[in-house]
Every structure is written in C-alpha cells, then in structure tokens.
Chains A and B, each alone.
Chain A
Amino acid sequence: MTAALEGEILRIGRELADSFPSMARHPVKALDDKAMELASRDAELRAALFRFVDVVPACRSLEDLARHLSAFLREVDERPPSLDAAIRMADSKAGARALGLAATAGVRHMAHRFIVGETPHDALRLLADLWQRGVATSVDLLGEATITVEEADRYADRCRAALVALHEESAGWPQRPALESDSVGAIPRANLSVKVSALTPLLRPEAPEVGKRDAAVRLRGLMQLARDLGAHLHVDMETLDSREIVLGLVLELLAEDEFAQGPSAGLVVQAYLRDSSETVEQMLDWTREHTRAQPLVVRLVKGAYWDQEIIEARRHGWPAPVFEEKAQSDRNFEALTGRLLEARPLVRVAVASHNLRSVAHAIACNRALGTSDGDFELQVLRGLGDDLQHALARQGLRVRTYCPVGDLVAGMAYLVRRLLENTSNESFLAARMHDASVEELLAAP
C-alpha cells in the first residue's frame, strides 16, 4: 500500500463524508437511529426488541402482540421507566390493544426503512425515483423459507413476474449513461437478485448434487427469461453450507451454449471467508475458459452471516470458516477489491460496502489503475446505505442499491439481520452514530 494511495483514500473519504446529509434534516431517521442506539447499548434490551420484531408477524391479535412484548420486556433486568409503563399497559385490555397498535406501527416503520414494498409493483415508484436521482437498483424478493416444491415454484414465479415488471417499467426511465453502460458495453436497467435456497427445497450441504439439480431447473427458466428481456440476474451467496452448490450451479449453467449471449449474470464473493481468494481465482479461471458476450459480474461483500457461521462452527467444533476479527475481513476485502479490479475485463466488479474506508479504498484503487470511474460499481443496502448512496451518486459514481421487496412476515429474517448489523458494536454505522472522527473511520484496517 503506497502512501499516495492512502492519501487518496483519505481525500475521497472526506469528500464523501462531507456530502452526507446532516441528521437534523431527517427527523424520522434521527428517531430510528435513536432507537437503534438504545438497542446497541443494552444487550438485554436489544434481545427483547429483536425477539419481539421477530414474532410480530406470527401474532394473532393486538392482545397477543402485547402479551409477547411484555413477556420479552420482563426479561430485561434494568428497565427504563418507559418500559415498565409498557408492561403495565399490557395488563388491561384497552392498554394491551393500544400497546399492540403502537408496537406494530413501530415495527412496520422500522421494516419500511429496509424493505421497499410488499410487491415489486409497490416498489416501482421508489425504484424510478432512485434512478432519477442517479441510483441504480437490484431487487431482492424476500420470502418464507422454501420447504416444499410448491414454495420453490412460487418463488420462481415471483421472480419471473418481477423480471417482467422491472423490464417494462424501466424501459420508460430517462437516460442515465453513468448507470447503464461502461467501457465493455450496456448494463441492464432491470436487475434482480435471487437466492438459491429459495429456488429449491432440497438444499443440503452434505448432498450438494440433489439441491443443485433441483435448483437448476428453476434457475434455468429465470436465466432464459432474463436473457430474452435483457435483464441482469444476480445469484446471491448465503452461508458456507451452500457456497459449493451456488458456485457450481451458476457456473455450469452459464457455460451452456444457450447462455453464451446472455443474460448478464453475477455471483458474490464474501470477503469474511478465509478462503475467499480461492473462490475469486476459481471464478477468474472460469471466465478465462468461457467466453460470454457479457462478463460475469462479481459482487464483493464482507458477508452477512458472520454470527451464524461462527455459531455453527463452534457448536460442531469446526474451525471457523470466517475471519474472527473484523479488521481481517476488512483487509481481505481491500486485497480482493484490488485483485478483482485488476482482473477486468474478465469480470465486471461491484464493490458492496457501507464502510467509508472500504468504499474510498475501492474508488482510489480503481483510479490508481487508470481506469474510469464508470468501469466499476458500488453497491449498498436499502436502509443502511441511504446517505452513502446519494453521496456516491452526486460524485457521478455508479451506485446500485439492493432493495428487498416482500411483506412483513417474509421480511422478518432479513429485517432482524439488518437490525443486528446496525446495532453491533463493530458496525460502521454504529461508529458513525457515536461521532467517530472521519480520520478514525478512514484508518487502514
């Protein structure tokens, strides 16, 4: 790492930070952040809050909601007076209804920060609005776990409908050259992220072939549709349990003749995995052996299943597949950013992070290679990277926001994960709330 690059990272990072809107201009958001901050300070309260958020969709009535909320709150040892008042409210019927209503409204409000609508149709206006403001999107359909064939088929149907809706709607959007082309060529406006675990009920880590075979049937249909519509299909990565399946499945399908001309498709690399550089090399080797009209898009993320991977490994006595210190993941993220950017045009690169340092590093790294800003992409999550997304757009960088769509029931697992991420002590966003200086935020990991 040269001093020049470090200086450049600082400069870019400061510039981005300066263009973040101030909290005061977003009163609702400030309120949200307040609740998050409270939760991040008290572990018991956080547990109570998350367990409540988790159970909301399963509650049958307002009284039922109030019963759950008060039961969770009773488990908090040191309760602020306001929570004691809430518990007392649950004791009377009228109070319970009022508490239930208020709590549901609270959870819905939080959910709307992360989930853009119940259906793709509901989300279209927001997607168009973002596009207007220089932000591209990828839609992710939240759903219940896929346990049966019917559920896998239903998810695939929803994906098909979403592809069609996104294709039709986005045709009418105004020109945004920064978002729809790079030096390789056109970049599709319609962009859908899909999960293999939702495409098959047979995903079992000890028997990858069964799940792969079953998912391939549905994924093939989606790829054909995306190809015919000229849309982009991104296959998300989940836990390590399914990585082998996802990689094998996608690369095998894309290698087929019928997909040589399209669709534009993508995979994900999770930098928190100790062996993620091997995955990168595996993808790059594949791209050398397979010529496709549209380069594979590689989205680089830190990884969203850290706790799950650690718990799974510790419960079984296995070595942790993920780095145990955040700084190790951050360093690996930077190394992989460099590796992927250098590998272009074999792949298109999307760097997905809310960490100001990681983002500034990617931008600086790309510029140091002498490539245009338009030849890579930055990605953020709806609700977590809203400020960053606008700051990047204002700089003319290509930013894509990952927009989950689905109802509250289906979105719960997603929502809880995002809330946890937002309130974890190591979270970049938590650091920002606690007034860490820009220099601290931009320090090399």
Chain B
Amino acid sequence: MKPFVNEPHAELRRAAVRESLLAALRGLEATLPWSVPLWIGDERRSGDDLLSSDPGNPERLVARCARATPQDVPAAVEVAQAGAREWGTRPAPDRGAALTGAANVMRRRRHELAALQVRECAKPWAEADADVCEAIDFLEYYAHQAIELEQGKSLVQAPGERNTMRYRPRGVCAVISPWNFPLAIPTGMVAGALAGGNAVILKPAEQSPASGLACVEALREGGVPPAAVQLLPGEGDVGAALVQDRGVATIAFTGSRPVGLEIVVTAARTPAGQRHVKRVVSEMGGKNCVIVDSDADLDDAVPAIVTSAFTYGGQKCSAAARVLVHDAIADELIKRMRGAVDLLQVGQADDFATQVPPLIERAAQERVLDYQERAEHEGRLLRQPGPVSSPGWFVPPALAVDLPRASSVLGDEIFGPLLAVERVAGVAEACDVVDGLDYALTGGLFSRNPETVDYVVSRTPVGNLYVNRQITGAMVGRQPFGGNRLSGTGFKAGGPDYVLQFTDPQVVTEDTVRHGLVV
C-alpha cells in the first residue's frame, strides 16, 4: 500500500478549477432532488417523509428521504450482525482495499459531492471541497491503520512462552452523524468502524441525508458488502433506538453535548440479553478560545481569528467562539476585527466569494439571533451593518464585546457567526478562563515568545491547541482531532489510535514447552 498522503484540496486560485466546480453544480442540479432510501442489506425502501432543502433557498428541494422508525432498527441490526461476522473475518488488507476503493469512488465524484454540500448544507465551495477531501483521507488513513493494527503489538516474551496481542472487531457499530461535515464526519466514523472489522449502521443527520447516501454508495461500490454498511435515515427517535438496541456494541456519535451525554447514559445500561458493555465514542462540541498576547502580530492574528470564527458561519465544532486578548492591544485588535467582520462576504454558498452562508435551518437562525440579542443587552454587539439577505437562514456576522464573565454568550456553544472578544490582564488570566470551561475541544494562541507558548501548552486542557494560526481545518494524519472534558470521550479522529476504539484487544499465550524442551 502506498504511504498515506492527504488528498490535495482544489486549487481554487485557478479559474479553470472554479469553472469545473460550477459545471459540476449545474450537473448536480439536473439530478435534484435525490431520493434517499432506507438501505438495509440489499433492500431499498424509498419514501418522502423527510425533505432536505437548500438552506439558502428553502423552496429548493435537495432530497426526498425515507424516514426510518424505531421499528426498523431490529431488522437492520440483525442484518448487520450477519454482516459483521463475514466482514470481521476478512484480512485487514482486504478491508483496506474496500475502503481505498470507496476513496476512489469519492475521488471520481469529488466535484459532484462538493456541489451536493453547497446545496444541501449551504457549505461554501472551499469548505465543501475540503470536506470531500477529508472523507477521502479518513478512508485511506484508516485503511492503513487497519493493516498496521493487524500486526498486533509486541509483548514481553519469556522462554517457552509465546505471547501475542491482537485486536478483534466488536460487532455492530451505530454511527450517528451531524450535518456540518455532511460527508467527512459520517465517512470518518463509518470508516473507522469498518477498518476495525465491524459492521455499521449509519444514521445521518436529517438535514443532510443525501450526503449520507453518498457515503454509503461509495463504500458499497468500493467493495464493502451490503450487510456491513447500512443506511437508516431518520430523526432522533431512530438514533435513540439504535443506542438502546442490545445488538449494538459501539456507538460513534458527533453532535451536541446534551445528545452525546444522553447517549453515554443510555449506553451504560446492560439490559438482560445484552452480552457486552457498550462503548461510546462521542464528540460533543466546544467553546473554543483564542488567546492573543501583547506580542502577537495582528496582521496575522486578525485574519486567522476571523477565519476561525466565521468561515461557514461558525458552524464548526472547532470554530473560535471567544477571543481573550491582552489589554495592551485589545483596542487595536477590536478595531481591526470590527473592520474585518464588516467586510465578511455574506451570501449564497455557490458564490466563491461567500464566507458567511445562510445557517443550516430556521431554528439555527433564531437561536443565533437570540444570542446576538443577549449580547447586545448584556454588553455591546458590533454587527455587520446592512439588511439581512433572503431567502435563506442568514444571520449577519457580529462581535460581542464588554460582556460580563457570567454571560451565557460566553458559556454556551452558539454555533453561529458570533464571536466574543474579552480583555485579560495577561496570558495567565486567559488560561484561568479557559480552565474554567467544561468544554475543551480546540484552542488558539497568538504569541511570539516561545516561553509563553510553553506556558499555555502546560496549562490548556484542550484537545487541539493551535499556535499562531487558525484553529479550524484539522487535517487527517496531521492534526488528529477531538476534545477533552465534556467535549468528547474519544481518541482522536484521523489519528493513530482511532480505529482501536472499535476493537477489543485479545492476548493469546501459548506454552511452547514439551517434555522440558522448547519446541
């Protein structure tokens, strides 16, 4: 197998590349709306109980989708259990070949799948393209990990004793994925489980079922058997039924904290007839802070922070939510940030210029506007002037300053284009603030003093700290990604330990002594 290399992002600075993406969008539009079925084994059941629409134009239908109910779950689990028995006995290179095959399918459909996200999730081009690349990366990276894991780990060997350690699949894995990385995150979780030899039932977010379908299509076309990867589109009740099902061994979830913690509680129960303790791999968001020390280069810091906070309207769990800036440069930073926020291009996702697209749905728009109102009431809101665009669930980007430390704007995950800027007396105080949060996903630091960098590294609880750069855009294999504290339970996605979570270790010790001789 060739060494892992990240799939190169589209070189959008070249006009020809941009044109080919627009052509792919026109091509996709001719195929909309997609029909997204329940897809259990070889059986497809279509329906139009769920409708997926363009957040930038709610009239435009992207997919008609069948809705699974809790009653569909047992059948899917049963098929998956059979699938797991077969798939789990395949050697890792075979599993790896199927995952790589899926990567090639996505590579072939790259522009189409990016265009799908532009329409289904209003994800701007650069982000949509990066999402598809990340999905490809997950498939290929975990294919490598599967092969490496099959070598086992070396143990201490005593004379006349042969000790081996290997990793067995756990069985059926339920994957419950979000809409904000509509292809990358489901593909990553599914590929991790498949690489470990498990069968998977994917329940994609109800906002992005078409991208979920694309994930399963690619895997099956790549060579994963139908029983080993199934699609169960639906709503929260289906997710809950999967979590409760006795046949499910592992649950991989990425989404909100309340749902993630609920999964942890439910999965801890071991009803009669269940012969294992469920394992939960849960990524649950963040309230990510960027510390800016007085020696920061604002020429770099301001654009990087604006990108971190507002790209894709801040709808990323890694996005910057709070800036903790040294008093000495706070005025200058706020002035320049404000100027930069005023210039953010708000618009439809299919325009290459757009940085802040419409939010995913009406509820998101209402929630973020509500937080902006709170910020205005409790402190000062510096909102980009001008009328709010429509149609689409637009929210103008804004900075919130002068908020009291107790403000809910500073504690809750808002998931929208609202960034709070707070003054601190120094880096130590900023670290205290970060340490006071129950989230610990990503963090940022702008400082040019190596000693300050060491100090913040030693104090920060976050899973991913970025120094002197934007805090979003983790790359598979380069920035394994995941949070600590109440941000997550798992080992890092796109990292060397991820596939381990979908396996049970097993040690075999064989006595090789016969009649006093080692034979």
Contacts and interface: CB of A to CB of B under 8 A. Distances in A.
A240 B14 CA distance: 10
Contact of A206 (B13, B294, B339, B343): B13
Contact of A318 (B11, B345, B449): B11
Interface in A135-163: 144-145, 147-151
Nearest to B21: A206
Interface stretch (A50-58, A176-184, A331-339, A368-376): A50-58
A251 B149 CA distance: 58
Given A58-B297, A68-B449, A72-B450, A149 B336 contact: no
A202 to B, nearest CB: 6
B448 A54 contact: yes
B295 A147 contact: no
Contact of B6 (A55, A202, A241, A317): A317
Interface in A190-224: 201-202, 204-210
B299 A147 contact: yes
B449 A60 contact: no
B125 interface: yes
Interface size class of B (residues with CB under 8 A): 35 or more
Interface in B57-105: none
A317 B5 contact: yes
Contacts of A31: none
Contacts of A240: 13
Q: Name which of A75, A206, A207, A241 has the most chain B CB atoms within 10 A of its CB.
A: A206
Contacts of B451: 67, 71
Contacts of A208: 15
Q: Name which of B6, B8, B9, B449 has the most chain A CB atoms within 10 A of its CB.
A: B449
B340 A55 contact: no
Contacts of A206: 12-13, 18, 125-126, 352-353
A68 B448 contact: yes
A154 to B, nearest CB: 11
B336 A148 contact: yes
A202 B343 CA distance: 8
Nearest to B17: A206
A144 B299 CA distance: 7
A179 to B, nearest CB: 35
Contacts of B450: 71-72, 74-75
Interface size class of A (residues with CB under 8 A): 35 or more
B388 interface: no
A147 B13 contact: no
B268 interface: no
B118 to A, nearest CB: 13
A316 B6 CA distance: 8
B359 to A, nearest CB: 21
B328 interface: yes
Contacts of A209: 353
B299 A145 contact: yes
A176 to B, nearest CB: 38
Nearest to A51: B448
Q: Name which of B7, B11, B294, B345 has the most chain A CB atoms within 10 A of its CB.
A: B11
Interface string B326-363: 00100000011011101101000001110000000000
A64 B295 CA distance: 9
B13 A205 contact: yes
A150 B328 CA distance: 21
Contacts of B15: 208, 244
A50 B392 CA distance: 48
B303 interface: yes
Shortest 10 CB-CB contacts between residues of A and residues of B: A148-B339, A317-B8, A205-B13, A207-B353, A206-B12, A145-B299, A55-B448, A207-B352, A58-B295, A71-B451
Interface of B: 5-9, 11-13, 15, 18, 125-126, 294-300, 302-303, 328, 335-336, 338-340, 342-343, 345, 351-353, 448-451
8 contacts: A54-B297, A59-B295, A145-B303, A148-B342, A149-B342, A207-B345, A207-B351, A208-B15
